[in-house]
């Protein structure tokens, strides 16, 4: 199945990319095909940014990170998908749109909410896995309005917030002893 | 602290960029402390004065005395860190250097991670994954002082859960001591490791299969890594620092040709 769109979940926001050039699945493991994903110049010709929806602050980022981690489609992601993917219901319905998503669970949640969207994940299609790897590698250059260091700063903040919530870490106490 | 009684210690760069050797009464493996004045786990620190080169042909203009800046190094104990043991054992390539991005699986309390953070320096990043909450707290604590460490309290078996927190990395270091560790490393490599990136895995034979001979276990693990498209480059035992441990270094090749 060919892929039309890709979803990239970055610590700064969601990015939706359209696939301009379909490479066939047969040669996915060839060295030339692989190199195309590593080279920004060539990869930039394969995908095109449709929309970048940044998070409004750290708390929203954390909520979305938690949802993405659990495979739940957050309200924010829902609106982002709704406004950026072509409508597939109603009279104007075209063929189904195929969206490349990283995780199977999230793909399931998206399919449930949008009947017109088919999902391919990195597990079902090596092509999607490769494309998502490319997006991860070049995210900072492909997402508009970002500067170098933005993604890593967001990762640092989000990593701390996410992990602290996991272990119920508080800065005041060294540890919560159970006596 | 520092070298006992202020004896002369000379710092020499190690073959691996970012790693140093302190030559004093005995030779010690050290890394340049990213947070001078602070020890992470009570390790020894060594301060060395490095006279800064005065601009021009010499300090003739009397008022600018050569300023000596102090650089602090932290002693890296090979009995406590498998990576240090591997370096002393003579690993050819550790795939991490100043500026590298490293995904560290099995970060524990972050003692070894702090040395990796020293190696990659302020321009590099260490993504430290640890599942245990108890050691995770220590890891987060350590990371608050070192901004190039990103703590991730999550199961390394499910890299998709932390895909928003990690970018593409140059190297994966794994010290997870799980029976399925080759699979864990593979999953993370497919997700986050650059093509041609390095994989450094510490294998504890007992944790994989306690009934088979260690050599047989290591050989089997290398085969499993190969199946995950990781081409093994070198293997070495961690004697005399650890018993029945091996360090395997490989390179990730995504294309099959």
Q: Are residue B237 and residue B136 in the same domain, yes or no?
A: yes
Asked whether the beta carbons of residue B154 and residue A169 sit closer than 8 angstroms, the reply is no
C-alpha distances in Å from residue B103, one per residue of A140, B154, B184 = 19, 13, 12
Q: Are residue B27 and residue B113 in the same domain, yes or no?
A: no
C-alpha distances in Å from residue A46, one per residue of A4, A17, A123, B35 = 11, 10, 21, 43
Of B36, B56, B75, at which residue does a domain stop? B75
Q: Per DSSP, what are the bridge partners of residue B174?
A: B105, B201
Q: Assess whether pLDDT exceeds 80 at residue B4.
A: no
d(C-alpha A70, C-alpha B116), whole Å: 30
Q: Are residue B36 and residue B152 in the same domain, yes or no?
A: no
Q: Are A127 and A134 in contact (CB under 8 A)?
A: no
pTM of the model: 0.91
In the block, tokens 């050290």 appear at B30
If you compute the radius of gyration of chain A from its CA atoms, what whole number of angstroms results? 18
Q: Are residue B149 and residue B189 in the same domain, yes or no?
A: yes
- Residue B35 phi, psi dihedral angles, 5° rounding: -125, 80
Q: How many domains is chain B built from?
A: 2
The reply to whether B5 falls in a domain is: no
Mapping DSSP to helix (H, G, I), strand (E, B) and coil, where does residue B46 land? strand
Least confident range of A121-130, B230-239, B244-253: A121-130
* Chain B interface, best mutation among A163, A173, A176, by max B CB count within 10 A: A163
Asked whether the beta carbons of residue A69 and residue B127 sit closer than 8 angstroms, the reply is no
Residues of B in contact with A166 (CB under 8 A): 133, 136, 153-154
Asked whether the beta carbons of residue A34 and residue B254 sit closer than 8 angstroms, the reply is yes
Q: Are residue B62 and residue B126 in the same domain, yes or no?
A: no
The reply to whether B29 falls in a domain is: yes
What pLDDT does A21 receive? 76
Determine the straight-line distance between the first and last CA of chain B, rounded to whole angstroms.
Answer: 54
Q: Are residue B107 and residue B63 in the same domain, yes or no?
A: no
Asked whether the beta carbons of residue A159 and residue B152 sit closer than 8 angstroms, the reply is yes
Q: Are residue B45 and residue B111 in the same domain, yes or no?
A: no
Residues A49-74 have pLDDT tens digits of 999 999 999 999 999 999 999 999 99
d(C-alpha B251, C-alpha A53), whole Å: 35
Nearest to B257 among A31, A38, A167 (CB): A31
Supply the DSSP symbol for A147.
-
The reply to whether B2 falls in a domain is: no
pLDDT band at B3 (very low <50, low <70, confident <90, very high): very low
- H helices within B14-131, ranges in order? 82-89, 111-120
Distance from the Cα of residue B102 to its chain's centroid: 8
Q: Are residue B71 and residue B90 in the same domain, yes or no?
A: no
Of B75, B91, B110, at which residue does a domain stop? B75
C-alpha distances in Å from residue A8, one per residue of A5, A18, A49, A52, B256 = 10, 11, 10, 9, 26
d(C-alpha B162, C-alpha B152), whole Å: 7
Q: Are residue B110 and residue B172 in the same domain, yes or no?
A: yes
The reply to whether B66 falls in a domain is: yes
Nearest to B190 among A68, A129, A160 (CB): A129
Transcribe B175-232 into DSSP letters.
Answer: ----TTHHHHHHHHHHHHEEEEEEEEEEEEHHHH-SSS-HHHHHHHHHHHHHHTTEEE
Q: What is the mean pLDDT of residues A5-33?
A: 83
Residues A125-164 have pLDDT tens digits of 888 999 999 999 998 889 888 888 889 999 999 999 999 9
Q: Are residue B71 and residue B87 in the same domain, yes or no?
A: no
The reply to whether B63 falls in a domain is: yes
Smallest CA-to-CA distance from B19 within B38, B2, B1, B32 is with: B32
Smallest CA-to-CA distance from B119 within B142, B94, B144 is with: B94
Residues of A in contact with B127 (CB under 8 A): 159
The reply to whether B34 falls in a domain is: yes
Least confident range of A111-120, B60-69, B122-131, B234-243: B60-69
Q: What is the CATH number of the domain that holds B90?
A: 3.40.50.150
Mapping DSSP to helix (H, G, I), strand (E, B) and coil, where does residue B73 land? strand
What pLDDT does B62 receive? 54
- Whether ipTM tops 0.90, in short, is no
Q: What is the domain extent for residue B152?
A: 82-252
The reply to whether B208 falls in a domain is: yes
Q: Are residue B92 and residue B70 in the same domain, yes or no?
A: no
What pLDDT does B257 receive? 55
The torsion angle over the Cα atoms of residues A102, A146, A59 and A168, rounded to 10 degrees, is: 70
Q: What is the mean pLDDT of residues B140-144?
A: 94
The reply to whether B4 falls in a domain is: no
Indicate the helix (H) or strand (E) that contains A166.
Answer: helix A150-167
Q: What is the CATH number of the domain that holds B29?
A: 3.30.200.20
Residues of B in contact with A163 (CB under 8 A): 136, 139-140, 151-154
What pLDDT does A172 receive? 56
Q: Per DSSP, what are the bridge partners of residue B12?
A: B21
Q: Are A5 and A17 in contact (CB under 8 A)?
A: yes
Asked whether the beta carbons of residue A163 and residue B140 sit closer than 8 angstroms, the reply is yes
Mapping DSSP to helix (H, G, I), strand (E, B) and coil, where does residue A44 land? helix
Of B33, B53, B75, at which residue does a domain stop? B75
Q: Are residue B132 and residue B242 in the same domain, yes or no?
A: yes
Q: Which residues contact B219 (CB under 8 A, 6 or more apart)?
A: none
């Amino acid at each position: 199945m060919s892929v039309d769109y890709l979803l990239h979940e970055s610590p700064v926001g969601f990015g939706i990319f359209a696939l301009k050039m379909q490479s066939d699945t047969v040669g996915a493991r060839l060295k030339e095909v692989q190199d195309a994903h590593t080279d920004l110049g060539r990869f930039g010709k394969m995908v095109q940014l449709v929309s970048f929806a940044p998070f409004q602050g750290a708390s929203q980022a954390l909520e979305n990170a938690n949802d993405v981690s659990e495979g739940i489609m957050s309200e924010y992601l829902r609106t982002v998908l709704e406004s950026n993917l072509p409508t597939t219901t109603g009279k104007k319905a075209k063929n189904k749109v195929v969206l490349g998503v990283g995780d199977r669970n999230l793909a399931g949640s998206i399919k449930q909410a949008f009947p017109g969207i088919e999902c391919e994940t990195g597990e079902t299609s090596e092509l999607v896995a490769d494309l998502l790897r490319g997006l991860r590698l070049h995210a900072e250059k492909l997402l508009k309005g970002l500067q170098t260091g933005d993604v890593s700063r967001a990762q640092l903040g989000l990593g701390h917030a996410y992990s602290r919530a996991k272990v119920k870490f508080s800065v005041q106490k060294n540890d919560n002893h159970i006596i | 602290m520092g070298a006992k009684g202020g004896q002369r210690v000379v710092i020499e760069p190690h073959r691996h960029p970012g790693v140093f050797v302190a030559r004093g009464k005995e030779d010690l493996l050290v890394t340049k402390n990213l947070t001078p004045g602070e020890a992470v786990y009570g390790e020894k620190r060594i301060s060395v004065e490095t006279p800064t080169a005065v601009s021009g042909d010499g300090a003739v203009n009397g008022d600018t005395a050569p300023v000596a800046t102090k650089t602090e190094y932290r002693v890296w104990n090979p009995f406590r860190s498998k990576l240090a043991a591997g370096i002393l054992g003579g690993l050819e390539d550790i795939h991490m250097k100043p500026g590298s991005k490293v995904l560290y699986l099995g970060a524990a309390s972050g003692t070894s991670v702090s040395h990796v953070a020293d190696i990659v320096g302020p321009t590099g990043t260490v993504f430290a994954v640890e599942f245990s909450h108890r050691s995770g707290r220590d890891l987060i604590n350590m990371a608050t002082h070192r901004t190039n460490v990103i703590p991730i309290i999550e199961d390394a078996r499910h890299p998709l859960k932390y895909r928003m927190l990690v970018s593409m990395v140059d190297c994966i270091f794994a010290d997870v001591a799980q029976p399925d560790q080759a699979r864990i490393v593979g999953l993370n490599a497919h997700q986050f490791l650059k093509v041609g990136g390095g994989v450094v895995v510490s294998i504890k034979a007992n944790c994989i299969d306690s009934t088979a001979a260690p050599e047989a276990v290591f050989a089997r693990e290398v085969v499993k890594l190969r199946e995950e498209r990781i081409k093994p480059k070198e293997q070495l035992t961690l004697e005399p620092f650890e018993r029945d441990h091996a360090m395997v270094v490989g390179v990730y090749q995504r294309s099959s040709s």
